[in-house]
Structure 1
């Protein structure tokens, strides 16, 4: 991801999904798993088999790309354990879009 690249004025689900997919592919490449399909219904635990340390890395990538407007730790802190286990890429995408739009609205 290129942190210098500006965030679109109107972040859309498609744009954010593409950016998060790129971040996840970066993470998965470290495990040699770069051919996994990633979509809105993909789960972090079951489908991508990411560990908690991977979520920490993802949080860093999100902050690098979007700044402090998107806080993954805060997002996860509001969830029950079962919700975290079943977290989908789509739910994260929706959170990012909502966070960016809220920050934009001031």
Structure 2
């Protein structure tokens, strides 16, 4: 049926949208709330300077969940795992929300 095929295709291919750093930061905060829980906002809202290691103290399993949720939210263009695999350990440790936001925006604009 044409209606079903169209809906199915829409589910697989998100409609192009204009993304901004602010909208991606808001999405990232929502995703992190799902992954980490309400404790995320104990020190205030997520900011571009928020560090995943020092401020949020994310564990490796939470990075995996974050990667899955970014994929679910933005699709295959945002390959967080491949992006992170190209980093040195000190880069991963110092990763900030702003760096992830910039990565997502750049991936979606490519």
* TM beyond 0.5: yes
Distance 2:100 2:40 in 1: 20
Distance 2:107 2:41 in 1: 29
Out of 56, 64, 74, which is 1:56 matched to? 64
Question: Which deviations, in whole Å up to 9, do the C-alpha atoms of 1:18-58 show, x marking residues without a partner?
Answer: 001110111221xx514333110001111001101100000
RMSD: 1.5
Unaligned segments of structure 2, at least 5 residues: 1-10
Out of 31, 39, 47, which is 1:33 matched to? 39
Greater Rg by CA:
2
Question: After the TM superposition, which residues 1-106 of structure 1 pair with which residues of structure 2 at under 5 Å, given as runs?
Answer: 6=14, 9-29=17-37, 33-36=39-42, 37=44, 38-102=46-110
Question: Which deviations, in whole Å up to 9, do the C-alpha atoms of 1:61-99 show, x marking residues without a partner?
Answer: 000001111011111011111000000000000000000
Unaligned segments of structure 1, at least 5 residues: none
Higher helix share: 2
Query: How many pairs were matched up?
Result: 96
What is the TM-score of this pair, normalised by structure 2? 0.80
Contact 2:40–2:56, Cα closer than 8 Å, also in 1: no
